[in-house]
Amino acid sequence: MAIFNFPQQTAFYSGKVRDVYTIGEDVLVMIASDRISAFDVILPREIPYKGQVLNQIAAYMLEATADICPNWLESVPAPNAAIGKRCNPFKIEMVVRGNLTGHSWRIYSAGNRTICGVTMPEGMKENDFFPTPLITPTTKASKGHDEDISKEEIISQGLVSAAEWDVLEKYTLALFARGKEIASKRGLILADTKYEFGKTGDTIVLMDEIHTPDSSRYFYAEGFEERQRVGERQKQLSKEFVREWLIANDFMGKEGQVVPEMTDEWLNTISKRYIELYEKVIGEAFKPVDLKDEEVFELIVKK
């Protein structure tokens, strides 16, 4: 993906997955690349159509939750591009967990029962539902690893005020409930996800993507209870299978570790999993669009 220079552009930031352009003072252009990251490391090869999948799921979900809280999105001029309001971001991510899986399970299986200052019940198995969803925030690192942080630490460090936290908590739980409702209609369980928020003036606004395979973990609902009963692995749609492949090949983003070879076959496997999740969540066939960089640029400029 080329780096663009838009009319009236005032800033540019390249993240792990997205390239973000500031236009004037109040507008953002966000382009979802085909890059993929894991353990806060950008992997060396891109995944076909991943940017389009992420951008279109995010746009669908932002529209489907616009009645819950304001969000940044204004238009989607190209399959992998979005335009919206520039916000001043909070330096935290609001992670919410409905099931004991992924990072929370790694903590739990190590014998710990507290995550981000929140106590997890005894006697749970991997992937079990929590009695109620848990909010387990992380810091938002511009480089390196995000770190777990508690509500109390967030407020004491001045990352958000107590009043702002109350709003973030309310929005996070309502968005997660809506995400689970949408997933349930498609035969899926939204197991965990994360939200990012910022402010425009005094208004708290939902930013970035939501309910995508990069920010969320989905289980297949059919057979879930039986798999839990007999101790089988759950069928899931998320990026976790990429993390598991990396772990199996001795890579967890630690110093001195080397990313294993990503073959063409493996890239196509990852791409198909992303497309599968799109089709399951949206309920429509994915229509891949191949645009040259200059075509993407022209579509954005026209907006």
Q: What is the pLDDT of residue 143?
A: 58
Three-state DSSP class for residue 270: helix
Structural contact between residues 182 and 207, judged by C-beta atoms closer than 8 angstroms? no
Q: What is the pLDDT of residue 142?
A: 60
DSSP codes, 102-129: THHHHHHHTT--EETTEEPPSS--TTPE
Per the structure block, which two tokens stand in for 192?
Answer: 């965990």
- Measure the CA–CA gap between 111 and 105, rounded to whole angstroms: 10
- Measure the CA–CA gap between 266 and 247, rounded to whole angstroms: 15
Q: Which helix (H) or strand (E) holds 158?
A: none
Burial class (CB in 10 A: 0-12, 13-18, 19+), 121: exposed
- Please, what is the Cα angle at 36 between 227 and 197, to 5 degrees? 85
% of the chain residues with pLDDT over 90 = 87
User: Mind listing the pLDDT tens digit for each residue in 140-176?
Assistant: 866 556 799 999 999 999 999 999 999 999 999 999 9
Q: Which residues of the chain have pLDDT under 70?
A: 141-145
- Measure the CA–CA gap between 82 and 116, rounded to whole angstroms: 32
CATH superfamily of 89-238: ATP-grasp fold, B domain (3.30.470.20)
Q: What is the DSSP letter of 186?
A: T
Q: What is the pLDDT of residue 303?
A: 75
- Measure the CA–CA gap between 75 and 111, rounded to whole angstroms: 46
Gap between the terminal Cα atoms of the chain: 20
Q: What is the pLDDT of residue 140?
A: 83
Domain boundaries, the chain: 89-238
**C-alpha dihedral (2, 5, 10, 13), degrees to nearest 10:** 0
Per the structure block, which two tokens stand in for 14?
Answer: 């390249």
pTM summary value:
0.90
Q: Scan for tokens 């349930």, then name that residue.
A: 184
User: Mind listing the pLDDT tens digit for each residue in 85-126?
Assistant: 999 999 999 999 999 999 999 999 999 999 999 999 999 999
Q: What is the pLDDT of residue 145?
A: 66
Structural contact between residues 48 and 36, judged by C-beta atoms closer than 8 angstroms? no
Q: What is the pLDDT of residue 156?
A: 97
Three-state DSSP class for residue 260: coil
